[in-house]
Amino acid sequence: MKRFIVIGLGNFGSSAAEALYGMGHDVVALDMDEDIVDGVAPRVTRAAVGDGRDVRTLERLGAADVDAAVVSTGDDITASILTTLGLRDLGVREVYVKVISSDHARVMDKIGATETVFPERESALLLGKRISHRGILNYVRLGEGFSVQEMAVPDAWVGRSLRELELPRTFRIAVIAVHDILSGKMIPIPEPDAPLKESDTLLVAGADADLARAADRS
């Protein structure tokens, strides 16, 4: 079990706090709106009303001892900067910050945020990938032009094995797992000679252009 603090309980912050708590972690949630705090309180370890920009408030809530922090202060860029600086002053090594623009992300990177998250852009990117290539179910960007995607097994591949398909050669992509959506079973490092089923999806990694070529076969 790890310990987290989530500062700012809008849609993103509250969802992050509840997700971490649901995974069995110790989660402290902080916001200045008492009604929001009351709503989140049953779904986290501890919920408190307070200002994340105040280092003393963070210290009182035990922020110095957390494994990581999530900062989600909405459109208030100044609040996200001051909160992140306060967390860094307390020795928090991992600080994940929700940003609202590329400029906001640049500022947070400069002051030492571990990672910036731009939910609207990432959701738009995922939607764009899904509607432009109907075989793509999920998309995780790894870097410029590279990603891991979950794709449906094309009809032409059903009943054939990964060894037979030779996807690294034909599409320059690697299958890192097979997911049977009927049983819910995830098979990492899949058996190369097992025939693919209609109920399978494939987790594949590679260049976006190569993945798009493969997805267009479905």
Helix (H, G, I), strand (E, B) or coil at 178: strand
Q: Which of 18-32, 80-94, 150-164 has the lowest mean pLDDT?
A: 150-164
In the structure encoding, which two tokens stand for residue 125, read together?
């990117």
- Of 97, 117, 137, the residue that ends a domain is 117
Same domain, 68 and 134: no
- Would you call 144 exposed, middle or buried from its count of C-beta atoms within 10 A (0-12, 13-18, 19+)? exposed
Q: pLDDT digits over 39-97, tens only?
A: 999 999 999 999 999 999 999 999 999 999 999 998 899 999 999 999 999 999 999 99
Among 136, 206, 141, smallest CA distance to 172 is for 206
Q: Of the ranges 38-47, 122-131, 153-162, which is most confident? A: 38-47
Which band of pLDDT confidence, cut at 50, 70 and 90, is reported for residue 148?
confident
CATH assignment of the domain containing 88:
3.40.50.720
- Of 93, 117, 141, the residue that ends a domain is 117
Q: How many domains does the chain have?
A: 2
Question: Residue 24 — left, alpha, or beta (φ > 0 → left; ψ -120 to 50 → alpha)?
Answer: left
Same domain, 134 and 109: no
Q: Is the pLDDT of residue 126 over 60?
A: no
Q: Are 43 and 18 in contact (CB under 8 A)?
A: yes
Please state the rounded mean pLDDT for residues 102-108. Answer: 92
> Which residue segment(s) compose the domain that 149 sits in?
122-215
In the structure encoding, which two tokens stand for residue 113, read together?
């945020």
Alpha helices in the chain (DSSP H): 11-22, 34-40, 55-60, 77-89, 102-110, 119-132, 162-165, 167-170, 208-215
Q: Of the ranges 107-111, 113-117, 123-127, 186-190, which is most confident? A: 107-111
- Cα–Cα dist 72/111, whole Å: 16
Q: Is the pLDDT of residue 133 over 60?
A: no
Helix (H, G, I), strand (E, B) or coil at 62: coil
In the structure encoding, which two tokens stand for residue 94, read together?
């991992």
| Per-residue pLDDT, 131 | 45
Unique residue bearing structure tokens 């640049």: 106
Residue 62: CB atoms within 10 A of its CB come to: 14
Please state the rounded mean pLDDT for residues 3-26. Answer: 93
| Per-residue pLDDT, 72 | 94
Which band of pLDDT confidence, cut at 50, 70 and 90, is reported for residue 166?
very high
Please state the rounded mean pLDDT for residues 122-136. Answer: 51
